[in-house]
């Protein structure tokens, strides 16, 4: 932490992002610069205790606002967390109540983690200057968020943004949700690993690929093939191009429906970069109806793992501006 | 027209919907009731002349507002019509300028025709009481509109709502747009007629089906098979169930992404009713991720062919409330 940071300043914003294992947090100054960026462990059975501990560790006395992002279905209106597969012990807890108890009455905001990451990219990252954005976060699952006219779209029962479960082929591979052919079944870690094993049994398989599959059993992750892809392995290339084309099919449909200014691709898997994004962009250029839409930029997220904490802080700033 | 209508009343709203052959219009009273519902021919090469003629025929002296819906890409912000395949002679015309010249300075609004129909259903029809809606209009083409938090979504370059060109199968049948497997290639008139001819060559084909295909050459329309469907013909049933399932794949993805309160299906083809809607609803119940979303009502539009004119009037009322 820079020595110049005044913990009593009333212009500081706090943003935090609660995941299954830790709570990432940032402290932003009045200019939106990250003055602090750190994390504490999540207590999987004690939301109020975790948030109280966060307030202690952060140490800012009277922030201009505190925002909290959380994995799962978050209701910004009621402040409650609903279904949350990664945080079952936090389900049905009053996030806003816990925040206000821990930070004594400052303006607060809560949001789903992908929505918060989108809002972070909108304010500080790859979505700056836009009014309409789509974000797709590629990880173990595939999450999504929408911004229309500068506002996050939450929808009925806060259910919007399940981009990972768009059906790309009703006869496609099985998805963790029980259906077939969802975007997640092609572009989530589980789907990519399944396809990596399949490809090891084909004539295409290189020695390096077979060695990778043999070396990593159940701990195989897309990171391993990203390394081979960077080294030019043909199987890795095929795998990411296939997945990138499926991503492109979903993105093209989203551009047709929503006409965003830009589409932001985030999450760990997206670090395969152009190998993923180039085939995706090709599908967008081909399958979007309007000429303007075919040029929609599909770009990598910029903020990295603290995007949701940054976005939560930005949402809190707006909550503060309203009150 | 009821004799009690006072053409000088300042509470009347005028709404019109410009199509390739005629301009449908309505006059609504202060309570939103249709006092007049009629049409005049569209002059395909003279937007300003057509709109001036509309003002004369309608005869309302000082309406509270006048709204105009038009097929094609309409910019509510600039008032101009962009690309419009059904009205090429109207492209790049200043709709708002023509309206204000013809109706001398009353509040005006312009919108794309499907967006206006959606707004009509939202205010007066199948979408009453909702905040978030998706509308799909099935006709020669397949159009779409979105309402998020009570506002129409127009998107970058007013390109939102091309639901008909969501890619349901990249290897699917050819679409009029040049791609393959778009929703329109399954559920637009052209796609339905193509499939009807295909089915006539299969073992499934009934005598009645073969007779229908033989009787109607290039003038075959979905209306003809809807009649056979109503009579219980097995081929008609197969055809509408197939199309309804493809519609359901698209609707399920839209519910996953946007979480609308309701999905409204309009347009001529939708008159096949439950034969189309039941398989669609089954896919929604199966392919939507969230429990709340699986129950999203998928309903037929209520307002019929004057929906867009009604919606244009409602948009004009809001333009009037703002100024």
Task: Map out the domains of chain A as residue ranges.
Answer: 13-122+305-322, 130-301
- DSSP class of A168: S
Predicted TM-score (pTM) of the model is: 0.94
Q: Which residue has the tokens 């979905």?
A: B222
pLDDT for position B2: 52
Q: Tens of pLDDT along A78-93?
A: 999 999 988 999 999 9
Mark yes or no for CB contact B148/A144 under 8 Å. no
Of B149, B166, B292, the CB nearest to A253: B166
Q: Which residue in A72, A287, A291, A295 has the most chain B C-beta atoms within 10 A of its own C-beta, making it the best mutation to test that interface?
A: A287
CA angle B61, B65, B71 (to 5 degrees): 115
pLDDT for position A316: 95
Mark yes or no for CB contact B159/A261 under 8 Å. no
Mark yes or no for CB contact B156/A252 under 8 Å. no
Q: Which residue in A279, A282, A290, A297 has the most chain B C-beta atoms within 10 A of its own C-beta, making it the best mutation to test that interface?
A: A290
Tell me, what's the ipTM?
0.93
CATH class of A13-122+305-322: alpha beta
Nearest CA in chain B to A179: B287
Mark yes or no for CB contact A163/B288 under 8 Å. no
Identical fold, A13-122+305-322 and A130-301: yes
Which stretches of chain B drop beneath a pLDDT of 50?
323
Tens-level pLDDT at each residue, chain A (323 residues): 455 677 777 789 999 999 999 999 999 998 889 999 999 999 999 999 999 999 999 999 889 999 999 999 999 999 999 999 889 999 999 999 999 999 988 999 999 999 999 999 999 999 999 999 999 999 889 999 999 999 999 999 999 999 999 999 989 999 988 999 999 999 999 999 999 999 999 999 999 999 999 999 889 998 888 888 888 899 999 999 999 999 999 999 999 999 999 999 998 776 677 888 999 999 999 999 999 999 999 999 999 999 999 999 999 999 877 54
- DSSP class of A172: S
Give backbone dihedrals phi and psi of A28, rounded to 5 degrees, phi first.
-105, 145
According to CATH, the topology of domain B130-301 is Nucleotidyltransferase; domain 5 (3.30.420)
Of A148, A170, A245, the CB nearest to B153: A148
């Amino acid at each position: 932490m820079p020595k110049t940071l005044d913990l009593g300043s009333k212009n500081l914003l706090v943003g935090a992002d609660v995941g299954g294992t830790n709570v990432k947090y940032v402290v932003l100054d009045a200019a939106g610069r990250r003055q602090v960026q750190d994390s504490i462990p999540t207590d999987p059975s004690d939301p109020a205790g975790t948030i109280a501990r966060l307030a202690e560790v952060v140490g800012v006395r009277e922030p201009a606002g505190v925002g909290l992002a959380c994995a799962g279905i978050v209701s910004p209106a009621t402040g409650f967390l609903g279904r949350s597969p990664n945080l079952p012990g936090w389900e049905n807890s009053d996030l806003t109540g816990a925040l206000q108890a821990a930070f004594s009455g400052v303006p607060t905001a809560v949001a789903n983690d992908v929505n918060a990451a989108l809002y972070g990219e909108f304010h500080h990252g790859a979505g700056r200057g836009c009014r309409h954005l789509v974000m797709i976060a590629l990880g173990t699952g595939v999450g999504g968020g929408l911004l229309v006219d500068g506002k996050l779209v939450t929808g009925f029962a806060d259910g919007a943004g399940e981009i990972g479960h768009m059906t790309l082929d009703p006869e496609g591979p099985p998805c963790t949700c029980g259906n077939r052919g969802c975007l997640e079944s092609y572009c989530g870690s589980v789907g990519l690993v399944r396809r990596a094993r399949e490809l090891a049994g084909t004539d295409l398989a290189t020695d390096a690929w077979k060695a990778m599959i043999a070396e990593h059993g159940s701990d195989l992750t897309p990171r391993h093939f990203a390394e081979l892809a960077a080294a030019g392995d043909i199987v890795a290339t095929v795998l990411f191009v296939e997945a990138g084309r499926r991503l492109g099919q979903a993105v093209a449909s989203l551009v047709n429906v929503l006409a965003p200014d830009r589409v932001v691709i985030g999450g760990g898997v997206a670090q395969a970069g152009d190998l993923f994004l180039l085939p995706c962009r090709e599908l967008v250029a081909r399958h979007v109806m309007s000429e303007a839409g075919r040029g929609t930029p599909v770009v990598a997220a910029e903020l990295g793992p603290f995007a949701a904490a940054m976005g939560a802080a930005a949402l809190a700033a707006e909550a503060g501006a309203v009150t």
